Structure formats: C-alpha cells, structure tokens
Chains A and B, each alone.
Chain A
Amino acid sequence: MRIEAADGTKRSKMLLGRWHGNLQHRASKLSTFACLFQYQPYSAEPMPPSTAAQTRRLYAFEVPPQRNVEKPLPPAGGLVQAATTVSVAIDESTESISVGKWIDADLQIDSASQDRSHVIRNLAIAIAFGSDADALSGAAQIAAHLSACTDRRSKDSLLMIVVADDDKATEVKLWTFPQDSVFQFSPSRRLGKGPSVQATEAFSRGSHLRKAAVFRGQNRRTDFLSCRVVDFQVNASARAAADFWIEHFLDARLSLGSALGTKILAKVLRETVGAACNAEERLELVGAAQALRQSNREKWSIASVADELLREPARSNLLAHPVAKRNKDSLFSLDRDAFDKLINFRVYQLDTGVWVSAPFTDEPEGVEIEKAGDDRRLTATGLVVAETVRSRHA
C-alpha cells in the first residue's frame, strides 16, 4: 500500500512532509490493514468497468484519538493510488449494511450563513469538487477533526474517504474502521517448520464499531445538507459513545425529530391495535408499548419496534400500516412522556396491590370506575387470554 499526497503542489508537499514522521511509525499497522484487504502492491492498474459509481479519489488516514490534546499531531495518510481493490472492499462494506441499518441525518448547518456553511459539508464539497490540492487538504482536515473528536481511551482508527461519480451525482463516503487485536496465521511453507501465529493489530472491516457517513449530490446549495449514516453505537448506554459519530463528529442530528417520530410511532401502534382482529394480537401490541415505556433505549424506528418487540402477525400488521410503510426505518429519539400521553396509557393502582393498565383507549372496555364518596371503585371484567410474571407493573 502506498500513501501519497495528491499532487506536487507546495501545500500538499508540506502536508506530506508533516506526516512523514508519523508514517514511519505507523507503517506496520497500515500494512496489516492492507493485508486484511488483500491489497495489491502499487500499480497503475485501470479501474474496472463500474456498473454504478466510479471511484475518482480515495484517501486513507490513520487517526489517533486526540480529544482535548493541546498540540495534536496531524493524522498520517493521504491519497491512495490505485484504489480499485480498496474501493471494492469499501463498496462491499457499504452494501453489507442492510437498508434498515442506515440512519438519515441532517447536518446542523449554520442557518445564518449565506453559503450554508458547515465544517463537514464544506470539506466534503472540497473533497468531491475541489482541485486535487483542495481535496487532499479537505481530507486531511476531516481526519484531524475526527482525531480531535475521538476520546483518548479509544484505539486508533482508519479513516477512508471515497469520492465516486455516477452519471447523476457524486458520492462522498466517510468510513472509519477501528483498530482491533487479531492473530495472523501462516501455514508451514518450508520443510521442518511449523505454522506460525502472530498477534498483531489491524483495522477491522467487520467491527461493530465501524461507522460511515455517505453524502450524495452535486456542487450546489441544495446538496450535501443530509447524509446517510451507519452507527451501531447510536443506542449505546454511554452518552459519549452514542453521540460521538452523528452529533460530535458530523455535527448532525437525526432527520426525524423526537416529537414527530414519537407521534408517528404512537399513531401507528394505536391504529394497529384498533385494527387487530384478536385479543392475542392486541395484547402483543400493548406489550410492545409497555416495553417501549420501560426501555432505557433512546432511539427507535418503527422497524426496530416491529422486529425487536413483536411476533407475527402483529409485526407484519404494524409494518403494513400505511404510515409505517413510508417511515419504518427513520430513527428518532423516543419522548417517553409524550408517548405515554399519546397512547393514553392509564395505569390504576388499587388498594389491594393490583395494578390495572389500559392503553390506547379513553374508556377501556370492561373497566368500570364508579364514584364511592371521595373514592373511586374500579371493576374490571374480561377473559384472561395471557398471563405473565413481571417484576414491574406496566
């Protein structure tokens, strides 16, 4: 693998000069990464005919974690020549993420600026449409920004920036792959020598901590305002991990707002309960609503509710709701208080220690509440269709 500056301009030479020291130290890790990608030595191999997008630029940087570091080092890296094999591997990484795992995010543009200024947007546009020198500089700045956002307890990561064109638009893909401890195995090649195993570090393409952001568009003011994101840590219990990629690094937010997302989910659940053809299915949906209220997880989509909290046929019926069909993959932060109000989740605690919960309805069927002086007396009648043991009430 060979990392070079994009061109012979003074600026890129200067940047390369600054990186040179780092490159010496980090060469071994980058080589291992190259092995994992089965990277071939540098050659002027032609790009294969592409059925979709054609890679035009590819940058790689080894990014050390340097959050709050007073004098951070610039990450080592630059333009990758002969990027075919790597870009194919990046495409595989992109395609391996199922549709429902992509998150829509909007950049938090400075809306007072005339040119829709935003640190990542400006750099992504420079990388996609700028001169070679500007693109290299933009890529290096994104790497430095990622480094400055990364907590020092993290390991180094590999940032790959791919620019690819198709006949309609240009894509800028930012991928980051975390460093991982791996074994490298070599079978015996010579007589009398056994196989060898080497413990080493590599950047992992399959890691659960890998992240991506993909921008698509042209160089105009209406484009590169939003991106599609891969971040499997978005629901991490540690806030810093959950917010790292979208909020801190990309300076973006989920495209579907919390209030609207919560309303949409409540509406879909409520109407699916209303249309449920039997008590078992209704109970399944009510159980999902209860689970949502009790869950510590912040971010949900309709698809994740269906897939993780429902069995058939309730799952399919929820996803078949006309609103769900269009919105099912949009991730949003669930507002539990608003959700409670929207699904009208009433919970009655009785003096007998019994709890009665009645979601989705103002006047629950079979539940009568009558005034008894200053008190209210509740009577509930109905067939028992399921029984569960829970440590907490609804």
Chain B
Amino acid sequence: MLSEADLRSRYKDRLPVLEQVRQDLAIETSEILAEVPHIDRISYRVKSIDRFVEKVREKATNSVYNEPLREVEDQIAGRVLVLFRSDLAVVMDAICSEFTSVELRRKAPRTTEFGYESDHSIFVIPPQVMPSTWKNAPSAPATFELQVRTLFQHAWAEPQHDLGYKSAKNLSEDSERELAWAAASAWGADQALQRVAERLSIEPKIEPGSAT
C-alpha cells in the first residue's frame, strides 16, 4: 500500500491526463445526448487531490482498496441533469447504448422516508478516450462514474451534501427534520412537474380564444 504522500504525488501526476479524459467524456456524452430532449446540463469533474486522498483514507479501515489509483472509480465523474423524472430512464438508456455499464444503482430512501435520490452508474472508459499510456496499465483507472438526476433531486442533494452529509453527527433533530421536509418538497415538485408534463403531452392544445 502506498503512503499518503506517495498516493498524493502519483495522483497529482495523473491529473493532466484525467483532465483530458474528462473533456473527451464530456464531449462524447454531449454527442450521445444531442437528440435527447429535456437535458438541463452535462458536466464532468476530476476528483481533487484532497478528496481522492480523503476517500482512500476513509475506506482504509475496511480495506476497500488494494490499489486506489485503479479502484477509486469516481476519479472522473459526470452528471447529467434532466427536467422530468421520466427523462432519467431515457438518458440512461441512451448512454448505456454507447458506453458499457458495469453497475447501475438507483439511490433512494426507504418508501416511508424522504432523502437523497439519484441514479448512479459506473461505465468502462471507452477505448477512444483511453490514453494510450493507460491501456494495459494495471494502476490506471478503467471506469468512470455518471450520475443522472432531475433538477429538483440535484437542488436538494447539493446543499444537503454540504449541510448534512459533512456534519451528520452534529445535526439536530430539527435540522434533520427540515432536511427531510426539503427532500419531500423536492420529491413532490418532481412528481407535480411530471404529472403536468404527461397531461400536456396527451391533452390537445387549447388555442387562445377558442370556444370551450
């Protein structure tokens, strides 16, 4: 196992290549979704050195990673935000037709609770964006992560991540309840938007001034 300093140093050396792959994946994802409606945004990021080292340190107690430079799968991670819940499956299907998925998980709270919701997936880095120096290199990443969320799922998840996840131990009951209320509101807003979108897609348009 590498020391933290070695890990930090080797990850730092890798950043320019990760950045190139990030850009290429962002372009390819945009091309895949070019004809798909209701995409709000597509973004990719490279995990920062601190977050990478922190993640490895957190998982070290459970011996999750033998070779973190290979096994941390969100060194490059993308996110696609969509307008409606029904777009989640459409986007995932389109991406799965071009990138090879090895893991698809819908993160959702229990049915009696409200909380974090997002579709997480792990894909194989395709050969056309794989740097030649990474091919057959056992410590190079082979996979990347992609999340697909609605705007409301994202609107709740990001501040919650900052407020709740980072200081989970210090949250009061009231704070937890308010976060749950915000999650419920975001879920409710998604449901309402979806219902309206479905009604508009099946109901005939009412022309202004026409007799009803």
Chain A interfacial positions (CB closer than 8 Å to B): 104, 106-109, 111-112, 116, 168-169, 216-218, 220-223, 225-226, 253, 255-261, 263-264, 326-327, 330
Name which residue of chain B comes closest to A331, CB basis. B127
Expressed in whole angstroms, the Cα–Cα distance for A169 and B28 within the complex equals: 30
CB distance from B29 to the nearest CB of A (A): 10
Q: Which residues of B contact A108 (CB under 8 A)?
A: 100
Taking chain B's interface residues, is the majority helix, strand, or loop, or is none over half, making it mixed? Answer: mixed
Contact call A259/B98, Cβ cutoff below 8 A: yes
CB distance from A226 to the nearest CB of B (A): 6
Contact call B70/A222, Cβ cutoff below 8 A: yes
**Does B167 have its Cβ within 8 Å of any Cβ on chain A?**
no
Q: Interface residue count for B (Cβ, 8 Å)? A: 27
Expressed in whole angstroms, the Cα–Cα distance for A111 and B105 within the complex equals: 8
Q: Which residues of A contact B19 (CB under 8 A)?
A: none
Contact call B99/A263, Cβ cutoff below 8 A: no
Most chain A C-beta atoms within 10 Å of own C-beta, residue among B28, B104, B128: B128
Expressed in whole angstroms, the Cα–Cα distance for A220 and B63 within the complex equals: 12
Expressed in whole angstroms, the Cα–Cα distance for A121 and B121 within the complex equals: 19
User: Besides A109-B100, A256-B126, A259-B32, 10 other CB < 8 A contacts?
Assistant: A104-B127, A109-B102, A111-B104, A218-B66, A220-B67, A221-B71, A222-B141, A225-B102, A257-B99, A260-B32
Expressed in whole angstroms, the Cα–Cα distance for A215 and B83 within the complex equals: 40
Contact call B32/A111, Cβ cutoff below 8 A: no
Q: Which of B102, B104, B126, B141 contacts A260 (CB 8 A)?
A: B126
Name which residue of chain B comes closest to A217, CB basis. B138
Q: Which residues of A contact B143 (CB under 8 A)?
A: 222, 225
List 20 A-B residue pairs with CB atoms under 8 Å apart, sorted by A's residue number: A109-B100, A112-B104, A116-B103, A168-B138, A225-B142, A226-B124, A226-B142, A256-B128, A257-B98, A257-B99, A259-B32, A259-B98, A260-B28, A260-B31, A260-B32, A260-B128, A261-B128, A263-B31, A264-B128, A330-B128
Contact call B126/A255, Cβ cutoff below 8 A: yes
Q: Which residues of A contact B101 (CB under 8 A)?
A: 109, 111
Contact call B138/A106, Cβ cutoff below 8 A: no
Name which residue of chain B comes closest to A252, CB basis. B100
CB distance from B46 to the nearest CB of A (A): 18
CB distance from B100 to the nearest CB of A (A): 4
Contact call A326/B128, Cβ cutoff below 8 A: yes
Contact mask B133-158 → A, CB, 8 Å, 1/0? 00010100111000000000000000
Contact call A330/B71, Cβ cutoff below 8 A: no
Chain B interfacial positions (CB closer than 8 Å to A): 28, 31-32, 66-67, 70-71, 73, 97-104, 121, 124, 126-128, 132, 136, 138, 141-143
Expressed in whole angstroms, the Cα–Cα distance for A221 and B67 within the complex equals: 11
CB distance from B77 to the nearest CB of A (A): 15
Most chain A C-beta atoms within 10 Å of own C-beta, residue among B32, B132, B142: B142
Given contacts A169-B138, A259-B98, whether A225 and B124 have CB atoms under 8 Å apart is yes
Expressed in whole angstroms, the Cα–Cα distance for A52 and B26 within the complex equals: 37
CB distance from B126 to the nearest CB of A (A): 6
Q: Which residues of B contact A112 (CB under 8 A)?
A: 104
Q: Which residues of B contact A225 (CB under 8 A)?
A: 100, 102, 124, 142-143
Expressed in whole angstroms, the Cα–Cα distance for A277 and B110 within the complex equals: 64
Q: Which residues of B contact A109 (CB under 8 A)?
A: 100-103
CB distance from B197 to the nearest CB of A (A): 26
Name which residue of chain B comes closest to A113, CB basis. B103
Contact call A327/B100, Cβ cutoff below 8 A: no
Q: Which residues of A contact B100 (CB under 8 A)?
A: 106-109, 225-226, 253, 255
Expressed in whole angstroms, the Cα–Cα distance for A326 and B142 within the complex equals: 17
CB distance from A95 to the nearest CB of B (A): 15
Most chain A C-beta atoms within 10 Å of own C-beta, residue among B124, B126, B136: B126
Contact call A220/B98, Cβ cutoff below 8 A: no
Expressed in whole angstroms, the Cα–Cα distance for A327 and B70 within the complex equals: 23
CB distance from A83 to the nearest CB of B (A): 23
Expressed in whole angstroms, the Cα–Cα distance for A213 and B7 within the complex equals: 33
Q: Which residues of B contact A264 (CB under 8 A)?
A: 128
